[in-house]
Amino acid sequence: MPTNASKTTVDRHYDLVIIGTGSGNSIPGPEFDDRSIAIIEKGPFGGTCLNAGCIPSKMYVHTADTALDIVESGRLGLQATVDSVDWPGIVNRIFENRVDPIAAAGEEYRRGPQSPNIDVYDQHAVFVGERTLRTGQGAQQRTISGDQVVIAAGSRPFIPDAITASGVRYHTNEDIMRLPQLPKSLVIIGGGYIAMEFAHVFEALGTDVTIIARSTLLRNLDDDLHHRFNTVAADRFDVRSGRTTIGADQTDRGITVRLDDGSSATGEVLLVATGRIPNGDLLDLPAGGIEMTNDGRIKVDEYGRSTSAAGIWALGDVSSPYMLKHVANAEMRAVRHNLLNPDNLQGMPHDHVPAATFSHPQIATVGMTESQARDHGHKVTVKVQDYGDVAYGWALEDTTGICKLIADQDTGKLLGAHYMGPQASTLIQQMITVLAFDLDVREFAAKQYWIHPALPEVTENALLGLTFRS
């Protein structure tokens, strides 16, 4: 029992308490059947990824990709149009037919006879002492404690003060996909991956999209991809780069956003996509002796343990330097191992983390940009390979896609890989393998077959285009 149990009345003590049912819900498996477990989740099971993030948004992206392919099919000698968009039907297909039943089934499983050692708490949780939390079940408030507590509470959208103070109706990723009707116009504040994916979705389905970005779009990309993407985006959207939102007003035309240069942008709907905040600040962490970093994450060591509170673990957006679902899943596997094997701890897996943006064109990256590689003192060799210079690129009539590889001239080791174009998130997987297994790219291209004329020839040609000292 916690040392402060005499000061707080504890209704139930557990071997393990888990806060959050995104990646955290994957911890309890057969190995934990002999442990008493509490799972705390105030929202739908599955976390952001299932309910309002990666999964439903990519279902929308695929729909948008299909619509855009039809609209742009003239370059292939076809005459085709999208005659109508059944937005309510799309929403129902994605949420009522797929996402919502999965979330409900996850909760039912944890509450049901299949999980006899698990109790579910559905009120918000806050720490009231060492490994002790106030939460509840239904209308009943409960105080529980645990030998071990895993915080996997995720993150939430960041809303600029100018928008909060304005009082206008705005949307975030948490509700924009459930709009009752497809808007005729949309203003998006933000220039990151969430903003770019939704800009693609709505524009492809017929909405006029205006983007307001404080700097440029996807500004952390390698320079070659960054410049090309911003050029392509400017042809599709009304992009207001280098602008700051200073206020917003509700009008009979929708929402008018006022900018720092005196201009404005009006849309029927406003989407705020200006980043995300770890949810640790909502848990009253100081009461549990849990420290946070300066940027708001729970402070953990290399194994995922709180640096200030014994028995506390954290994973995913609430603590990780990478707000990515595949990282949260990998961290969950490490924490699960560490809970089961306290004498043989695994480090948090943060090497060679890839990321993809499902915009149009699609983008995927892993490793260093060219400027980062040079800043780290590497003597680099670089190859930028156009999709349009390989046979399948001809089939696609692609004019903007590129693969950029960066390697060390002396060692032959890959330093970074960056793709922009069709299937980027799939094509990059081979380069993730190269980094993960520390392979020499001087041999990688020649020692395997590359199916002709498939799109991976983009990667093959990029590899063969790198030059080395020996």
Quick: pLDDT tens for 212-270.
999 999 999 999 999 999 999 999 999 999 999 999 999 999 999 999 999 999 999 99
Whether 287 and 138 map to the same domain: the answer is yes
Q: Quote the pLDDT of residue 5.
A: 44
Q: Quote the pLDDT of residue 470.
A: 67
Dihedral pair phi/psi, residue 425, rounded to 5°: -70, -20
Last residue of a domain, one of 274, 294, 321: 274
Last residue of a domain, one of 309, 340, 371: 340
Domain assignment present for residue 302? The answer is yes
Query: Which residues pair with residue 407 across a beta bridge?
Result: 381, 414
Whether 178 and 198 map to the same domain: the answer is yes
Dihedral pair phi/psi, residue 256, rounded to 5°: -105, 120
Kindly report, residue by residue over 89-116, the tens digit of the pLDDT: 999 999 999 999 999 999 999 999 999 9
Whether 21 and 122 map to the same domain: the answer is yes
Give exposure, 266-285, as e/b (b: 16+ Cβ within 10 Å).
bbbbbbbbbebbbbbeebeb
pTM value is: 0.96
Domain assignment present for residue 149? The answer is yes
Last residue of a domain, one of 245, 274, 303: 274
Q: Quote the pLDDT of residue 1.
A: 40
Neighbours of 199 (CB within 10 A): 28
What is the CATH number for 454?
A: 3.30.390.30
Tell me how far apart the 2 most distant CA atoms of the chain are, in Å: 78
Spell out, as residue ranges, where the chain has pLDDT lower than 70. 1-7, 470
Q: The domain containing residue 222 runs over which residues?
A: 159-274
Please identify every residue annotated as catalytic.
Answer: 452
Whether 283 and 152 map to the same domain: the answer is yes
Whether 257 and 186 map to the same domain: the answer is yes
How many domains are there within the chain?
Answer: 3
Whether 410 and 440 map to the same domain: the answer is yes
